[in-house]
Amino acid sequence: MRPHVIDDAELWLRRKRNRGVAAGQESLCTISNPIGAESRFVFRNLKRGLHFDLCTVTIASALGVPYPIPSSKEPMATTIFNAPRILRSRIPRVCVAVIGNTPEEMIEKAETLIRENPFLELRLDYLANPAAALPKVKRLLETRPDAVFIGTCRRASNGGKFKGSAAAQLEILTKAAAAGCQLLDVELETAESVKAADLQKLRSAASLILSYHDFKATKKLEETFARMVKVPAEYYKVVTTATSLYDNVVMTKFLEKHGHDYWLIGLCMGEQGLISRILSVRAGSVFTFAAASAGEATAPGQVTYRDLRSTFRVDHVDAATQIYGVAGDPVAHSLSPAMMNLAFRRENVNGIYLGLQTKKIDDLLACIQDIPIRGLSVTMPHKQEMVSHLANADDLVRKIGAVNTVVRAQDGKLYGFNTDVGGLVGPLSDRISLNNARILVIGAGGAARAAVFGLTVRGAQVSILNRTLPKAQKLAREAGAKVVKRADLKKLDFDVIVNATPIGMENPKASPLEPDEMRARIVFDMVYNPVETKLIKQAKAKGIATIPGLEMFVQQGARQFEIWSGKPAPVEEMRGVVMKALGEVTSSEPVAPIPPPVEAVKPEPKPAAHNNNGSSAQKSHAPAKKAVEVKSSKKSVAPPKAAKHAKKVVAKKR
């Protein structure tokens, strides 16, 4: 049976939502704890939570078991009450997991991290001799009394690296508490296998986090939690693995249900669990975990603390924060979160933008409604399938049959837009006149459909090359284009070649064309990561002007931002953060000059040459084809027509 401790009083007052005490005012309060004991507290209602000063505690167990009762004039220093209790208001939202091969390496990392994030988890199980690091931990904490440390020595059977027994694990954690760690992490399996007295001894030294990890799925949360609450602890940590986006919804609902009664830490691991790592803190999780740097994750899907705090602004997430995201498969490579979150921060929009990886449209739709998600960037493979789930869409979406931008209205209905067209046409229009331009589009998917329809509407002569011929033929019939075979490329000339496939993204060594198949003045690759794909490199080697996918990526993203927020997009800042993420300098190289179209040029007249017959002979020249006008290569951003149109469509529907 658990004796009544000060943390229970705070939870009791949180459940009752006591509002009778003004900020800074003191009041005497008598309450009853869950086992019928009576306690009296003086508390202050502060801005960041309830802080308690214990005057007297009277404990009367429901079972009549006697407990040591401290005098009202004596400090709480018995074996039951001497653990330092860390109040929730003192704990930051992000805990950084620190690993190292040696004690020296671990402490060196901790000393560096503590300057930016004073809440750390020391993964002692990563050390061959965990106890060797504890003297150094003690010295570090003596110099940083503001820091909060979690001591963790997870056993190998529970997903950690410590190969010792449960008893040896508790011994190391007891020493960690003596070194100054205010919180200790113990797995449910260990707690159930040791004596209650041994666990209580550990709790007398520091606050206990009772943890459970499921590395396969998110299931049976209620059953698992019922097991956990039988073990006395200050915090309960439930970590599962997301096998779908909706598992994040399951986790957040669990936190919302129990977060008022217990101090919980909850999240989902895996790439699909990113949502829970951020939104859990507003659903009821005391904090979330992060990696110290890329490559140092201690759990699948763990992101760095800088990404959590800077890119996703987890410290500022609240009930009013709007959720946006990029949905597709894959999305791990996407730089949309970095670009969009910077735009939100720059324009003071209370929103965050996440990566939502899913192969199933039903999984995505369920998350849109239950999280809820305010806006989506839709990418492969959902651009065409999403159209049938829209309540209304703009003309481009209806004509193209593909959507890349979705807005969820207050009534839950979805409205669609396509900003891919503007992202493609804008950079091209800055360089050449599209009327009568001969353009080859590689691909026949959602991005290719946007390119083909957007270019044909502007008078371009579009040819389609696709691996699957029937799909290319269908698109050509719908858009008024024509289909070409790859075998004919070596004898065909184009003004522009557009790669609208993902070739070159996952495999940087792949290219949709061979160098001798590239007979064009401009090559436009929609793939933006890496900036210089193999296709772009091949084009440059042949002296062909290039447009990297970065241009389209930034411009279509800017239009999405304007649709969602109604504010002008900070285009230059968005471009800068993407280039920085890609390792590019912000002052890009001058745009390569675009060679003129190949045409017969009429030479200056020459004196007639006389043959032996005395007649004059002169070479005849074919009439020159009309040249495609070449424009300045200066970059510009098209006006935000999509945002205005979005407001009209939504208003009309309402």
Q: Please list the active-site residues.
A: 383
Paired sense of beta strands 405-408 and 414-417, if any? antiparallel
Q: What share of the chain is helix, strand, coil (3-state, %, to 5)?
A: 35, 20, 45
Return the closest-CA partner of residue 434 out of 446, 447, 421, 445.
421
Q: How many residues does the chain have?
A: 654
How far apart CA 512 and CA 243 sit, in angstroms, is 33
Extended beta strands in 329-411, E state: 351-357, 375-378, 392-393, 405-408
DSSP string, 451-468: HHHHHHHTT-EEEEE-SS
CA pair distance 135, 229, nearest whole angstrom: 33
Strands, E assignment, 292-412 = 322-328, 351-357, 375-378, 392-393, 405-408
Rounded distance, CA 509 to CA 545, Å?
Answer: 20
Distance CA 173, CA 206 (A): 9
Residue in 67, 83, 84 with CA at minimum distance from that of residue 204: 83
Q: Say which amino acid occupies 450.
A: A
If one counts every other C-beta atom within 10 angstroms of the C-beta of residue 579, the result is 18
* Residues 210 and 262 sit within 8 Å (Cβ to Cβ): no
Radius of gyration, CA atoms only, the chain: 32
For residue 561, CA distances in Å to 123, 345, 374 come to 40, 12, 12
Give, as one character, the DSSP assignment of residue 67.
-
Contact between residue 377 and residue 405 where contact means Cβ atoms under 8 Å apart? yes
Those residues whose C-beta lies under 8 Å from the C-beta of residue 556, and which sit 6 or more positions away, are 404, 419, 420, 422, 423, 424
List the structure tokens of 356.
């939502």
Q: How many CA atoms lie within 13 A of 246 on its CB side?
A: 11
Which amino acid is present at 159?
Answer: G
Residue 538 near residue 529, CB atoms below 8 Å: no
Q: How far apart are CA 591 and CA 594, in angstroms?
A: 9
> Is the dihedral angle over the CA atoms 293, 294, 295, 300 positive or is it negative?
positive
Taking the C-alpha atoms of residue 574 and residue 528, their distance in angstroms, rounded to an integer, is 14
**Nearest-angstrom CA–CA distance, 499 and 66:** 78
Question: What is the DSSP-derived secondary structure letter of residue 309?
Answer: I
Is residue 210 within 8 Å of 235, Cβ to Cβ? yes
Tell how strand 482-483 and strand 461-465 pair up. Answer: parallel
DSSP for residue 610? E
**Which residue in the block uniquely carries the two structure tokens 């590019």?**
584
Count of helices and strands (H, E) across the chain: 20, 25
Of the candidates 212, 218, 219, 177, which has an alpha carbon nearest to the alpha carbon of residue 192? 212
Q: Are the beta carbons of 210 and 237 closer than 8 angstroms?
A: yes
